[in-house]
């Protein structure tokens, strides 16, 4: 794909870059996005209705099994060329901060050195009462769906993700917002820009004078406001941008 000339000029002058990614960044690795309809056993549920403390309290086994199925899927996926392009781009800027809504560790697996996981990580488990981490050996050996927690008599194991209605990890939004306020360029990649407070970040960058570049095959609330709205996929265009920055084009 031919990149808009202004985009590369903006990037070549940039020192501080903020990368925001959502579920669409993982789509080409085979991880269904939140917007994708649920399949199989979960066909009649919306993700937003399962990813809540209320759902876990009311139906702990149903929610636990949903996460177990997602974890098993994620164990077999790999980063794609777009993930590796983000790693390569780290060398072309003074700072590149990667803030993700994704919980699948694909950015870390690709080698991104600094990742802020706004919504936690699906592969880790915590106690439902104390929030303390529960190690994988306990999860694998303790019977029960969900297993009970070793940290609290009434506690259950739950995934270390941020559910709807729960606060984001302390400091994560503060760090991401500070970057949005001071970056030269902000990419918004593969997010429907619907889930708050993460969705506010590209608008904060825009209002603070950053060049905002959206990568999403579908339009979002950001598309008409971004300086560049690339209606294509992450795996397609990120390697092209990285190659252009490396002067390989």
Binding site for ligand BV8 (CB under 6 A): 22-24, 27-28, 33-35, 48, 51, 101-103, 119, 161-167, 190-192, 194-197, 215-218, 220, 233-234
Whether the Cβ atoms of residue 93 and residue 15 lie closer than 8 Å to each other: yes
Least distance CB 13 / ligand BV8 (angstroms): 25
Cα–Cα distance between 31 and 195 in angstroms, integer?
A: 18
Catalytic residue among 119, 151, 152, 227: 119
- Would residue 107 show up in a list of annotated catalytic residues for this protein? no
Long-range contacts of 30-34 (CB under 8 A, 24+ apart): 30/73, 30/77, 31/73, 31/74, 31/77, 31/102, 31/104, 31/106, 33/190, 33/192, 34/192, 34/195
Q: Is 202 helix (H, G, I), strand (E, B) or coil?
A: helix
Of 13 and 130, which has the nearer Cβ to ligand BV8?
130
Q: Is 191 helix (H, G, I), strand (E, B) or coil?
A: coil
Of 184 and 214, which has the nearer Cβ to ligand BV8?
214
Least distance CB 38 / ligand BV8 (angstroms): 11
Of 143 and 171, which has the nearer Cβ to ligand BV8?
171
Helix (H) or strand (E) holding 187: strand 185-189
Of 137 and 233, which has the nearer Cβ to ligand BV8?
233
DSSP-derived pairing of the beta strands 120-127 and 157-161: antiparallel
Of all residues in the shown chain, the one whose CB is closest to ligand BV8 is: 24
DSSP-derived pairing of the beta strands 115-117 and 120-127: unpaired
Residues labelled as active-site residues: 119
């Amino acid at each position: 794909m031919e990149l808009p000339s202004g985009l590369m000029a903006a990037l070549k002058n940039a020192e501080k870059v903020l990368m925001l990614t959502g579920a669409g960044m993982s789509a080409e690795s085979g991880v269904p996005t939140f917007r994708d309809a649920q399949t199989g056993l979960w066909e009649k549920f919306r993700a937003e209705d399962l990813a809540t403390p209320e759902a876990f309290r009311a139906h702990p086994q149903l929610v636990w099994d949903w996460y177990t199925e997602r974890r098993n899927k994620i164990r077999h996926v790999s980063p794609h060329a777009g993930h590796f392009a983000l790693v390569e781009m780290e060398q072309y800027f003074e700072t590149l901060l990667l803030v993700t809504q994704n919980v699948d560790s694909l950015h870390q697996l690709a080698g991104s050195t600094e990742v802020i996981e706004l919504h936690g990580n699906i592969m880790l488990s915590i106690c439902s009462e104390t929030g303390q981490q529960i190690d994988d050996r306990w999860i694998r050996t303790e019977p029960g769906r969900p297993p009970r927690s070793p940290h609290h008599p009434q506690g259950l194991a739950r995934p270390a993700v941020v559910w709807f209605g729960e606060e984001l990890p302390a400091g994560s939004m503060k760090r991401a917002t500070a970057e949005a306020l001071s970056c030269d360029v902000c990419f918004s990649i593969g997010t429907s820009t619907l889930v708050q407070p993460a969705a506010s970040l590209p608008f904060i960058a825009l209002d603070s004078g950053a060049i905002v570049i959206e990568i999403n095959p579908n339009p979002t609330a950001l598309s008409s406001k971004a300086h560049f709205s690339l209606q294509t996929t992450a795996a397609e265009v990120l390697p092209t941008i990285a190659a252009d920055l490396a002067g390989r084009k």
